[in-house]
């Protein structure tokens, strides 16, 4: 399934269960954040409820996008682990810009990011 990362954390793999990974990491005392798609509009690679668990070392399991926003979400998740502050992230692309980057239509996605205690 996933590849081993730093500290034995599992690297990105949409087949792995983000909640199981987050629970395992927390049980070992690691800092963990969970990102959840809370709203989509238009074209979106993942539906509401999709999740991404992020380990304090940057390893992650799951997906909240087709990869186009995951780097930003992981960076925000690492900040949430450090600060303890949750956040709602909004990402979008206009219909005009979507054509420029090869998408059929634009869309928006909102992602809630929180540190898991």
Query: 80-101: per-residue pLDDT in tens?
Result: 999 999 999 998 766 665 555 5
Determine whether 61 is exposed, middle or buried from the number of CB atoms within 10 Å of its CB (0-12, 13-18, 19+): buried
- Report CA dihedral (111, 44, 58, 3) to the nearest 10 degrees: 140
Out of 6-15, 39-48, 74-83, give the one with best mean pLDDT.
74-83
Looking at per-residue pLDDT, the higher value among 111 and 101 belongs to 111
């Amino acid at each position: 399934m996933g590849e081993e990362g730093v500290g034995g954390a599992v690297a990105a793999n949409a087949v792995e269960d983000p909640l199981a990974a987050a629970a395992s990491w927390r049980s070992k005392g690691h800092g963990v954040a969970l990102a959840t798609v809370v709203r989509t509009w238009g074209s979106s690679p993942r539906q509401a409820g999709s999740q991404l668990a992020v380990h304090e070392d940057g390893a992650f399991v799951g997906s909240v996008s087709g990869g186009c926003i995951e780097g930003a979400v992981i960076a925000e998740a690492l900040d949430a682990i450090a600060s303890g502050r949750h956040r709602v992230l909004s990402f979008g692309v206009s219909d005009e810009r979507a054509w420029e980057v090869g998408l059929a239509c634009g869309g928006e996605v909102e992602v809630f990011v929180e540190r898991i205690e």
